[in-house]
Structure formats: C-alpha cells, structure tokens
Copies of this chain bind each other. A is one copy, B any other.
C-alpha cells in the first residue's frame, strides 16, 4: 500500500488504531532503522521492525480504542513533514475519560510513498493550580 501524502498516512495510522488492526499498521510505518515510536507509558521503540512487533503486542484481540484527533499545527518540508496533533482517547466506558495528549508525527517521502517515521506522545500540561511534580510551589500566606 502506498500513500501519496503525509495526511493519507496519518489517516491510515489513526484508522488502524480505531480498528485495532496491527496488520493495517504495517504499511503505515517506515521500515527504516531510524523509525521511532514513543507511546504513553511505554519505552521508546526504535526501528521499523521493532515498532511493528510493538503494535502487534499492544493491539490485543477485542481491544476497543476510539481516538479523535485535532490538528494543532504542521510543517511541510521537501521530504519530511511534521504534524502536531491533540489525541483524545475513548474506549471502555468503565475506564472513565482520560485527558487528551499531544502527538508529534514525522512523515518521510520514501521510495514507496509517504511513511510514518516517528510518532511521539507527550502529556498536556496539568491544569493551573493542580499539583506539579518536582516543582516547589510557594506556600500560601497564613490568614
């Protein structure tokens, strides 16, 4: 399967997650050793082959994930493109709702069309006033 634009790859990537289909994930990714995937709570995975295996391990039969994607920003180069998106997951309602996260997707034009080369997630910042890790907030003055 060949993708003619970064956006086509991106659509196929999130469709594969929605459909919990690890086979559909394979043509999305570059098979290059410099492919990189960083999912929430997961170690950084490098290498197209290792990433394919990682998705296969994550996409257990019966898993239900729905993901909605909001485009924040993108940059198009000659042979690389970077899309910054906000991902909101839903799935098993018993798990409650989760805060959205950032996703950075890097696409590359390869011999067989555009491919996903990096997918990196990062949390959104905590709401103002909530506790923050490692940061010492000044104490409120006594009343």
Name A's B-contacting residues (CB within 8 A).
34, 36, 38, 40-44, 46, 72-75, 77-80, 82, 84, 95-96, 98-99, 102, 104, 106, 108, 117-118, 120-123, 125-126, 132, 134-136
Contacts and interface: CB of A to CB of B under 8 A. Distances in A.
B106 A75 contact: yes
Contacts of A102: 38, 44, 120, 122
A77 B81 CA distance: 10
A135 B41 contact: yes
A73 B95 contact: no
Given A120-B104, A122-B122, A125-B43, A78 B79 contact: yes
A75 B34 contact: yes
Given A73-B46, A125-B43, A134-B95, A118 B82 contact: yes
Nearest to A122: B122
A77 B122 contact: no
A132 to B, nearest CB: 5
Contact of A42 (B72, B108, B125): B125
B77 A78 contact: yes
17 contacts: A41-B135, A42-B125, A44-B72, A75-B80, A75-B106, A75-B108, A75-B118, A78-B78, A84-B120, A95-B134, A95-B136, A96-B134, A98-B134, A104-B120, A120-B120, A121-B122, A122-B122
